[in-house]
Amino acid sequence: MNIIDSHIHARLNDNPSIESILDFSQHCHIDRLVILGDVLAFGFFPSPDQIKQINNHSIDLIKRYPGRLYGFCFLSPEHPPVFIDEEIKRCKKAGLIGIKLEASVNCRDDRLTSLMQTASGLNLPVLHHSWYKTEKINPAESDPADIAYLAARFPDVTIIMAHLTAVGIRGVFDIQKLKNVYVDTSGAQPFSGAIEFAVDYLGADRILYGSDAHYRDFTAQLGRIYGAKITDADKEKILYSNAKRILLPD
């Protein structure tokens, strides 16, 4: 079976090295990987220059490993719209295929408006961090209800909500009716039942396999999918064909 990992991180300091990530992913039969950037390399609030540094790193990696690595353009909505707009266009031209947002600005904030409009115009998917946390890592961190709010405002933008296990039952219900929202399987330990629950209430068509490697292990993260009590056809959608359709159309 072909496998696409739609959520990994490669470090600016190359530790672990990109070669070791590619090597171990191949060992786990993962053909293609989507790098979201070293998003916390400069903390939660990177400067525009630091954003460029992170994106240049991703661009460099996809150029070095075409057909194996794909990349997202990392942004912070607190930066001026002119910068964001230029950065999206620069990254798209260089081959990046989506936008990654982390936790610098809550996604209900008005500062996401122009960014989302650009994403819509250029037909770029947006992968957004999300978590229902007992204690937020910072006050701006978005939870699934925030993601649902954003998705309702921009129904023609494909949004990938990160971290299925961490968003839990409430998170699945938050986005259930918003058909432009997908969820990736990364986040937290491989708690049983999460995949089955998402398949039951969202359908396998809306779930993407993502590992959050190198922080996490491809092996344990694939184990959630292989170990889930779902059909082989659903596993294939989660591991490959959904990501192929949404992120890597021919």
Partner 1 sequence: MKIVDVNVSIGNWPFQRFPYYDLQALSTALDAEGVSLAVVTAVEAILNSDPCYNQNLHKQCQNDRKFVFLPVVDPSMPGWEERLSAFLPGLRGVKIFPNYHTFALGSSQIRDLILFLKALTLPLIIQMRVDDERNQHPHMRVAGVAVEDITQLANLYPDQVIVCLNAYIQEVEQLLQNSENIYADISFCEHMDTLGTLNKTLAAERLLFGSHTPFLYTRSATMKLNLSRISKEMRQKIAWKNAEDIFRLEEL
**Distance, CA of 224 to CA of 209 (rounded, Å):** 9
98-126 burial by CB neighbour count: b if 16+ within 10 A, else e? bbbbbbbbbbeeebbebbbebbeeeebbb
The residue within the footprint of partner 1, chosen from 100, 206, 216, 235 (CB under 8 A), is 216
Examine residue 212 and tell whether it contacts Zn ion (CB under 5 A): yes
Tokens 């184990």, residue?
223
Segment near Zn ion (CB under 5 A); pick from 40-48, 98-106, 151-159, 211-219: 211-219
220's contact among partner 1, Zn ion, none, with CB below 5 to 8 A by partner kind, is partner 1
In the complex, minimum distance from the CB of residue 132 to partner 1, in angstroms, rounded to a whole number: 7
47's contact among partner 1, Zn ion, none, with CB below 5 to 8 A by partner kind, is none
Examine residue 164 and tell whether it contacts partner 1 (CB under 8 A): no
Segment near partner 1 (CB under 8 A); pick from 105-113, 118-126, 172-180, 208-216: 208-216
**Which of these, 116, 124, 115, lies nearest to 246 by C-alpha position?**
124
Is residue 100 within 8 A of residue 137, CB to CB? The reply is no
15's contact among Zn ion, partner 1, none, with CB below 5 to 8 A by partner kind, is none
Dihedral angle sign, alpha carbons of residues 207, 57, 70, 232: negative
Residue ranges binding partner 1 (CB under 8 A): 16, 20-21, 24, 27-28, 131-135, 165-166, 168, 188-193, 213-224, 226-229
